[in-house]
A and B are shown apart, each in its own frame.
Chain A
Amino acid sequence: MPIRPPRSRRAFLALGAAWSAALVACRSKSAAPAAVEPRALGAAVSPYGSRSKFEKTARFFNQNTKVPLEEASSRTPLHDTYGIITPSSLHFERHHSGVPDLDPSLHTLTIHGLVDRPLEFTVDEIKSLPSTSRIHFLECSGNSGGEWRGGSTESDVQRIHGLTSCSEWTGVAVATLLRECGVHTDATWVLAEGADAGKHDRSIPMAKIMGDAMVVYGQNGEPLRPEQGYPLRLLLPGWEGNANVKWLRRLKVMKQPAMSREETSKYTDLMPDGTARQFTFDLEAKSIITRPSGGDTLVAGAAYELTGIAWSGRGTIVSVEVTTDAGTTWTKAHLQTPVLPIAHTRFRFPWTWDGKDTLIASRCTDDTGYTQPPLATLIAVRGMNSQYHNNGIQAWKIASDGKITNGNRA
């Protein structure tokens, strides 16, 4: 059953309309504000915080599917999250064999293979090293994948694009640990393997491992959530989610990729000629308007702020442009600071809807000069069966009655 927040999900639109005369009408219909000063004593302090009982925003996952829920994904409510940091509790999930329940005092990371000194590190030992914290998005390469073959006009931003989230990650450079082991000069790949039931594994090129790859134990200021790899995960900034191996137990230094199931039969991108692209790690520049978006209803003549997120696995977002006239004109949106490399970037664009049918969309450009293309441009190159890595422009269709639907095929 779809988990849809109650009417509060739309409350923003009522508030957005506050700038116009619509506000007066709205307020006059709503319940009278509390008439008395608070007199009841509030709750006492507590050891670990929780959100207000009035807030119901949740991850979405399809429960009516043949896919076991241990192998499923849940999606971040992008419509109802603010700024650039995703709360850890709402970070998207994609597991391949469930979330293991690992005791950090028993879990270790072993580095072996083509090294002088195979070493096993405890979690406390890794935590004892000087740490670094970085804000990076993580996106599943299957995010937005349903759009390749048409998608659903009734779908919303959470269901289409909710497999991206952004956190502050804390850990150590993988290079620091590898150097401790003495990597052989002829080594070119590193196999990363998790301690989940299926021992999820991916081969990673040495250049990335010795570059910005991290072993992380912290997420948004506290230990990783179990769903995000507690107590240790690999973080490969800008690379497809599944390569950022969770519950990391082993790094094996090798001369060739292992050709694991996840890098051959899965996570390879099928082209129209029947060949498949392999080791397609990069997540290319992408942006989406998150509010208003599919499922919302606009009021004619009311003022709105179009807002959304943009990100690139290759670097920093330098501009986001918005169209409100179905692509005829594009205007730069305001980028909210901080604008960080390989991180969600929040954009804002004030706009008054004139009550006419239209399409709205955003497109971003990163500092490599890459501009997010229309989905049709990607389909022209890759066909409709590549399944992964859809970073095409997302259009939202606004009908004359104000209802917003998925406009990608409009």
Chain B
Amino acid sequence: MATAPRRFGFAAVLLGTLSVAQGFSPASVLAQSPSLGIGHPPKAEQLKQIDIDVTPDGKGLPPGNGTAAKGKDVYTRRCETCHGPTGKEGPQDILAGGKGSLATDKPQKTVGSYWPYATTLWDYINRAMPFDHPSTLTPDEVYSAAAYVLFLNGIVGEQDTLDQTTLPKVQMPNRNGFVADPRPDIPLRKK
């Protein structure tokens, strides 16, 4: 069985010295000197391939663009079977509609009624959709599919261009609908 050699003591000394020599911030070096002697710097190309998350500030969005007008074709080919012709039919997750339903007895949590960030939509389509062939859409196709889903919800216009700059600025209706976890939300028993 292959087992990596243990070399903590030696590595701590060696890599600790290297860290200082390479000019890492003194505070973090003191607090967190490498000491295990394992791991290697990831190759830039490989890191780029897996560093796929897109955050609400738009970081992680690649170059490219799309519109709902272009997205109709992508949606019809790659999304409609599961989500229905207008995003409301299913059989899988309902993407559109549900506006004003969250506080009712039959809440519909759709992209338009519930999702707080448009960047999340881009991220999720890019990382996980289509369900049986994830990560096969080009950036332009993801921008267009996202634009079409937002268009189905009345959030963007048919010709509005979504790209690295405009997508993070899309105002989602339920942007302020989330609160922190207040639990325990019932009284504790006296110890």
Q: Which residues of A contact B (CB under 8 A)?
A: 66, 68, 71, 96-97, 110-112, 116-122, 124-129, 176-177, 179-185, 191, 193, 197-199, 201, 249-250, 252, 254, 256, 258-261, 264-265, 268, 270-282, 284, 365, 368-371, 373, 377-378, 381-382, 384-385, 389
Determine the main DSSP class of B at the interface with A.
loop
Query: Which candidate, B64-72, B106-114, B152-160, is the interface stretch facing chain A?
Result: B106-114
CB-CB under 8 A for A120 and B42, given A270-B107, A385-B107: yes
**Could you say which residues of chain A place their CB within 8 Å of the CB of B186?**
373, 377-378, 381
Q: Which of B3, B47, B135 contacts A110 (CB 8 A)?
A: B47
**Could you say which residues of chain A place their CB within 8 Å of the CB of B24?**
116-117, 182
A208 to B123, CA, bound (A): 25
8 pairs of A and B residues whose beta carbons are closest in the complex: A274-B103, A119-B39, A198-B128, A128-B4, A274-B102, A261-B124, A125-B38, A369-B188
**Could you say which residues of chain B place their CB within 8 Å of the CB of A121?**
38-39
Please state if A125 and B120 are interface contacts (CB–CB under 8 Å): no
Q: Which residue of A lies closest to B36 (CB)?
A: A180
A389 to B185, CA, bound (A): 12
Question: Interface size on B (CB < 8 Å)?
Answer: 66
Please state if A199 and B52 are interface contacts (CB–CB under 8 Å): yes
Name 29 A/B residue pairs within 8 A (Cβ), A-sorted: A97-B131, A110-B47, A116-B25, A117-B24, A117-B41, A118-B42, A120-B40, A120-B46, A126-B38, A177-B39, A180-B34, A180-B39, A182-B32, A182-B34, A185-B27, A193-B50, A198-B134, A199-B135, A249-B50, A252-B53, A254-B55, A260-B123, A264-B114, A264-B120, A265-B115, A274-B177, A277-B179, A371-B188, A385-B105
CB-CB under 8 A for A261 and B120, given A249-B50, A274-B103: yes
A259 to B46, CA, bound (A): 24
Q: Which residues of B contact A (CB under 8 A)?
A: 2-6, 19, 24-25, 27-29, 32, 34-36, 38-42, 46-47, 50-57, 90-92, 102-103, 105, 107, 109, 111, 114-117, 119-120, 123-124, 127-128, 131, 134-135, 177-186, 188-191
Please state if B4 and A201 are interface contacts (CB–CB under 8 Å): no
CB-CB under 8 A for A278 and B32, given A260-B124, A273-B103: no
A377 to B189, CA, bound (A): 14
Q: Which residue of B lies closest to A71 (CB)?
A: B131
Please state if A284 and B184 are interface contacts (CB–CB under 8 Å): yes
Please state if A128 and B6 are interface contacts (CB–CB under 8 Å): yes
**Could you say which residues of chain A place their CB within 8 Å of the CB of B128?**
96-97, 197-199, 261
Instruction: Name the distance in Å between B43's Cβ and chain A's nearest Cβ.
Output: 8
Please state if A279 and B38 are interface contacts (CB–CB under 8 Å): no
**Could you say which residues of chain B place their CB within 8 Å of the CB of A370?**
184, 188-189
Please state if B55 and A112 are interface contacts (CB–CB under 8 Å): no
Please state if B179 and A124 are interface contacts (CB–CB under 8 Å): no
Of listed B24, B46, B56, B127, residue having the most chain A CB within 10 A: B127
A258 to B134, CA, bound (A): 20
Please state if B2 and A182 are interface contacts (CB–CB under 8 Å): no
A118 to B57, CA, bound (A): 22
Of listed A119, A180, A281, residue having the most chain B CB within 10 A: A180
Please state if A270 and B102 are interface contacts (CB–CB under 8 Å): yes
Instruction: Name the distance in Å between B140's Cβ and chain A's nearest Cβ.
Output: 20
Q: Which of A179, A268, A389 contacts B32 (CB 8 A)?
A: A179
**Could you say which residues of chain B place their CB within 8 Å of the CB of A122?**
4
Of listed A68, A111, A279, A385, residue having the most chain B CB within 10 A: A385
**Could you say which residues of chain B place their CB within 8 Å of the CB of A260?**
53, 120, 123-124
Q: Which residue of B lies closest to A68 (CB)?
A: B131
Please state if B36 and A129 are interface contacts (CB–CB under 8 Å): yes
Q: Which residue of A lies closest to B189 (CB)?
A: A371
A273 to B103, CA, bound (A): 5
Please state if A276 and B47 are interface contacts (CB–CB under 8 Å): no
A31 to B109, CA, bound (A): 57
